[in-house]
Structure 1
Amino acid sequence: MTSPRPVVAGADTHSETHHVAVLDAATGAVLADRQFPATTTGYHAILTFIATLGQLMRFGVEGTNSYGAGLTRHLLAAGIDVREVIRPNRAARRLRGKSDPLDAITAARAVLADEDLPLPKTSDGPVESIRVLTLVRDSAVKARAKVLQQIAMILVSAPAGKREQLQSLDQKTLLTTLRRSRQGDPVDGIEPATTAALRRLARRHEYLSEEIDETTDQLRALVEHVNPGLLATKGIGVVTAAQLLITVGDNPERITGKAAFAALTGVSPIPASSGKTNRHRLNRGGDRRANNAIHTIALVRMSADPRTKIYITKKLAEGKTKLEAIRCLKRHIANEIYTLITNPPAVPDITDLRPARLVRGLSLQNVADHFGVWPMHISTIERGKRRDDELANRYRQWLTTA
């Protein structure tokens, strides 16, 4: 009995349909292609269709984290070797034309020719929950900023009395005043209408702020569940930790090493040598949101971490510009983050700090004065709102020896 011939498949994914092409893995010949609905029934039909043609060796899917996410999850659950196929650029499409069958065949040929195509994110764990909550938070932050712009625009053209009354107030006082203002009937004139508009915008700002705070707390809980070591690292907050986890996904094993993670986050320098010139240039590829997160961590450490300040000073003394020194720092941070994500460290418990402080009759101000920080900093550490293991360990030692 002859064994079934090995085949590879490729899928061009859309919101309602997926077009699948099957190639002979030995010759590269196109065996068949067909369109299926993007539903659970359609996913089962795809595997049945391929099984009639041969034994599936590998499946290339376009858009594994968008239109192809459902198909990718179904294939991974079935034990299929799935690879992410990058959509062809526009120049390539102009040369060979554009259609769903052609795109599916191209995806199959790509997965047949390239063994190093990236593994897709599984998108079925807590990191996917972090991704969708981050999406909600980001949209609320943008909407809140837009509200402030709209308030400023209305104040520019507001009646003189109203404008003079409000323009000297700081932002917090202004928003409180607008929320508490008495709403008149807009039909009575421009001033009551302006007051009503500003009142609604101020209340919208308050609602969005509450939504942002609530979503941030949910993100903090998820990040601490997935990788508490990230939040325990100096310079990494909830938002930056969430973005870095999103970039890696629920299956960090798909990132093969520190160099691969650096390339993924756009902090790996790209060779730009020619002739007698030997240099590297800035990498503008990779996940730009992850790159921004690493840049934020670098800036925080440059302002608050003594070791980072020494490192930057050393790089500047070597003749590097400040931007070049920051790029070197970002690469080191990327290496550290890769280790934290792929080999999470144990994070010590901090729930003992507040009871120990109260037993000794110390106030937050007493502790803050001893360590030279703000009382709120100590409070956030005690409540688990901020991770600073170095300070927490010194704090615990001081409480037990004082």
Structure 2
Amino acid sequence: MPTVPTVPGAAPEVYAGVDTHADTHHAAVVDAVGRHLGDHEFDTTTAGLAALYAFISSFGTLIRVGVEGTASYGATLSSYLHDQGVSVSEVIHPSRAARRRGKSDPIDAYNAAVTAAGNTDLPVPKLLGGVVDGIRALLKARTSAVKARSAALTQIRSLLVTAPQDLRQAYQCRSARMLLARLATITDDTDHPLLIVLAGLARRIGFLDTEITDLHTRITQMVTDTAPALLAAKGVGTVTAAQLLVTAGQNPDRIGSKAKFAALCGVCPIPASSGKTQRMRLNRGGDRDANCALYHIALVRMASDQRTKDYIGRRLGEGKTKMEILRCLKRYIANEVYALIVDPPQVGGVADLRPLRRQRGLSIQAVAGVLEVHSNKISAIERGVAHDAAFTQRYRAYLAEVTEAAA
């Protein structure tokens, strides 16, 4: 490790930058006006991270550290520095134009340090390793399993298109479920190559179905424990809630405001005015998975939420198109989601609903008739597989009325 110069008098304010890699990190330190104070390379081991922190702290009062690749090679370092109480900012890799002056690990580290010193509005990285990180891993596994299942089913249908006529007629089914059930009847002693392949693909889909169900159950439990208020919101399901939690991260307070969360999800309009033309355009940036989650929530509310239907009718009367209204809805939903994640309200449980209904001698069909909903919704609410805070409150109030009437 290089010798650290001593600084006479009061400890100066310093800033650090780190160029991260798989096996090593290169750290550099500058003062408040960007003068280079020192740099060194460290291993990515536990001892190496501790040595890196000791090095950048030895030059003075450490104000902020700029780290490249906080979501990849720098994730562990960012979490370690955060645990030490250090302010960590994410530094974007320099542009190609900026790298015309040369590129090396020390140059990149010093550039990161200068950026951290000169910019107070750098993004705060997401912390990894918590509950939300576990949800992220499960969600990625579920997404890949769903894609693999779709690919296998597409392959089955493609093989049947060019299959002999007798096989095409034998396995011509209207639904995928019927097709898979019929393919499952193929015995192992068949010597027809096409039947062997079709049976193998059907078994693969069956395995993926089991995996998807298991992952979905685990994600539901973790999301319910982590953000019950978000899951109870109208139109929010397990997958959409999980994706929005992953987008916000383990430390959602880093986002700062509803407007910043909307920008993170790509639902904030962007000015596109020039001269006499004054207009806004669609934001095509941000986290597209979060944007997709907000889109699905908006579609559900457009189909089943009366307040959203009233809003659509009013905006259509103002001359807005459905796509423009959908963009507005996604922004409003993003604001609601941000509040539910950062400052969630208390959400009551549903485990007592079914015992209360049975104590009153009420059937699901009877309750559904009074509340004017399908009986499947009552069952899903009682089992906790569907979430609707407003309807749950209405259901509970009805059971309370029945109790008072019986008394």
Letter in 2 for 1:12: D
Equivalent position to 1:168, from 154, 173, 181: 173
Q: Does residue 39 of the first structure (1) align with residue 14 of the second (2)?
A: no
Change (3 A) 1:276 1:59: same
Equivalent residue for 1:260?
A: 260
Equivalent residue for 1:8?
A: 15
Give, in whole Å, the separation in 2 of the partners of 1:91 and 1:210.
50
After TM superposition, give the deviation of residue 330 of structure 1 in Å: 1.2
Letter in 1 for 2:210: E
Equivalent residue for 1:338?
A: 338
After TM superposition, give the deviation of residue 365 of structure 1 in Å: 2.9
Q: Does residue 155 of the first structure (1) align with residue 160 of the second (2)?
A: yes
Equivalent residue for 2:3?
A: none
Give, in whole Å, the separation in 1 of the partners of 2:104 and 2:152.
43
Which whole-Å deviations, capped at 9, do the CAs of 1:287-331 have from their partners, x for residues lacking one? 111111111111111111111111112112112221111111111
- TM-score normalized by structure 1? 0.94
Give, in whole Å, the separation in 1 of the partners of 2:362 and 2:194.
51
Alignment of 1:170-185 (within 5 A): 170-185=175-190
After TM superposition, give the deviation of residue 169 of structure 1 in Å: 4.2
Q: Do the aligned residues in 2 keep the contact of 1:179 with 1:200 (CA within 8 Å)?
A: no
Equivalent residue for 1:97?
A: 102
Q: Does residue 74 of the first structure (1) align with residue 80 of the second (2)?
A: yes
Which whole-Å deviations, capped at 9, do the CAs of 1:333-353 have from their partners, x for residues lacking one? 111111111110111221111
After TM superposition, give the deviation of residue 396 of structure 1 in Å: 2.3
Alignment of 1:226-241 (within 5 A): 226-241=226-241
Percent of pairs with identical residues? 51
Change (3 A) 1:400 1:24: closer
Give, in whole Å, the separation in 1 of the partners of 2:134 and 2:289.
17
Which whole-Å deviations, capped at 9, do the CAs of 1:125-183 have from their partners, x for residues lacking one? 21111111111111111111111111112212223211111123421111111123212
Equivalent residue for 1:125?
A: 130
Q: Do the aligned residues in 2 keep the contact of 1:183 with 1:195 (CA within 8 Å)?
A: no
Letter in 2 for 1:49: F
Change (3 A) 1:168 1:214: closer
Ranges in structure 1 where 5+ consecutive residues have no aligned partner: 187-191
Change (3 A) 1:272 1:169: closer
Q: Do the aligned residues in 1 keep the contact of 2:27 with 2:56 (CA within 8 Å)?
A: no
After TM superposition, give the deviation of residue 359 of structure 1 in Å: 2.4
Equivalent residue for 1:395?
A: 395
Q: Do the aligned residues in 1 keep the contact of 2:267 with 2:331 (CA within 8 Å)?
A: yes
Give, in whole Å, the separation in 1 of the partners of 2:155 and 2:279.
47
Q: Does residue 86 of the first structure (1) align with residue 92 of the second (2)?
A: yes
Give, in whole Å, the separation in 2 of the partners of 1:362 and 1:201.
46
Give the match's secondary structure for 2:370.
helix
Which whole-Å deviations, capped at 9, do the CAs of 1:84-131 have from their partners, x for residues lacking one? 1122233433x3333322221211111111011121222232111111
Letter in 1 for 2:305: D
Q: Does residue 146 of the first structure (1) align with residue 160 of the second (2)?
A: no
Give, in whole Å, the separation in 1 of the partners of 2:202 and 2:96.
45
After TM superposition, give the deviation of residue 62 of structure 1 in Å: 1.2
Equivalent residue for 1:275?
A: 275
Give, in whole Å, the separation in 2 of the partners of 1:142 and 1:393.
37
Give, in whole Å, the separation in 2 of the partners of 1:328 and 1:79.
39
Give, in whole Å, the separation in 2 of the partners of 1:185 and 1:151.
17
Ranges in structure 2 where 5+ consecutive residues have no aligned partner: 1-7, 403-407
Give, in whole Å, the separation in 1 of the partners of 2:97 and 2:164.
55
Letter in 1 for 2:356: A
Task: Identify which range, 209-218 or 360-369, moves more after superposition.
Answer: 360-369
Equivalent residue for 1:189?
A: none
After TM superposition, give the deviation of residue 185 of structure 1 in Å: 4.5
Q: Do the aligned residues in 2 keep the contact of 1:184 with 1:196 (CA within 8 Å)?
A: no
Equivalent residue for 1:195?
A: 195
- TM-score normalized by structure 2? 0.93
Give, in whole Å, the separation in 1 of the partners of 2:400 and 2:226.
31
Q: Do the aligned residues in 1 keep the contact of 2:268 with 2:331 (CA within 8 Å)?
A: yes
Alignment of 1:234-313 (within 5 A): 234-313=234-313
Which whole-Å deviations, capped at 9, do the CAs of 1:180-208 have from their partners, x for residues lacking one? 3212354xxxxx22112111111111111
After TM superposition, give the deviation of residue 394 of structure 1 in Å: 2.2
Q: Do the aligned residues in 1 keep the contact of 2:132 with 2:250 (CA within 8 Å)?
A: yes
Give, in whole Å, the separation in 1 of the partners of 2:231 and 2:64.
37
Give, in whole Å, the separation in 1 of the partners of 2:263 and 2:119.
19
After TM superposition, give the deviation of residue 5 of structure 1 in Å: 2.8
Q: Do the aligned residues in 1 keep the contact of 2:149 with 2:205 (CA within 8 Å)?
A: yes
Give, in whole Å, the separation in 1 of the partners of 2:74 and 2:213.
32
After TM superposition, give the deviation of residue 370 of structure 1 in Å: 3.2
Letter in 1 for 2:25: H
Give the match's secondary structure for 1:180.
coil
Instruction: Count residues in correspondence.
Output: 395
Give the match's secondary structure for 2:184.
helix
Give, in whole Å, the separation in 2 of the partners of 1:60 and 1:154.
53
Give the match's secondary structure for 2:243.
helix
Give, in whole Å, the separation in 2 of the partners of 1:322 and 1:338.
24
Q: Does residue 58 of the first structure (1) align with residue 70 of the second (2)?
A: no
Change (3 A) 1:130 1:168: closer
Aligned-pair Cα RMSD in Å:
1.7
Task: Identify which range, 314-323 or 133-142, moves more after superposition.
Answer: 314-323
Equivalent residue for 1:17?
A: 24
Give, in whole Å, the separation in 1 of the partners of 2:399 and 2:9.
75
Q: Does residue 360 of the first structure (1) align with residue 360 of the second (2)?
A: yes
Letter in 1 for 2:348: P
Give, in whole Å, the separation in 2 of the partners of 1:97 and 1:317.
58
